[in-house]
């Protein structure tokens, strides 16, 4: 259920979804760049990060 909520947040605000998953790491900054370049690439990256990585401790 937590992943579903993160994915929903990632669709609305991709960097926030990545931040909730990994914190202020490289993936977060990459997602901000991708979101600025195009909203769809930011969403795809955020969903990928949420689906592939374990939650930040």
**Residue 35 domain-assigned?**
yes
Domain that holds residue 32: 2-52
Q: CA–CA separation, 46 vs 9, rounded Å?
A: 9
Give a yes or no: residue 45 inside a domain: yes
Question: Is residue 57 assigned to a domain?
Answer: no
Q: What is the pLDDT of residues 2-11, one digit of tens each?
A: 778 888 999 9
Q: How many domains does the chain have?
A: 1
Domain contains 47:
yes
Residue-by-residue DSSP string for the chain: -HHHHHHHHHHH-HHHHHHHHH-SSHHHHHHHHHHHH-HHHHHHHHHHHHHHSPPP-
Q: Is the dihedral of CA 14, 47, 52, 27 positive or negative?
A: negative
| Averages of pLDDT over each 10 residues, the chain, 57 residues | 85 93 93 95 94 70
pLDDT reported for residue 18: 92
């Amino acid at each position: 259920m937590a992943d579903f909520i993160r994915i929903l947040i990632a669709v609305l605000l991709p960097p926030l979804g990545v931040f909730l998953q990994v914190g202020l790491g490289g993936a977060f900054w990459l997602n901000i760049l991708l979101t600025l370049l195009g909203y769809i690439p930011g969403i795809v990256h955020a969903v990928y990060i949420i689906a592939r990585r374990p939650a930040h401790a």
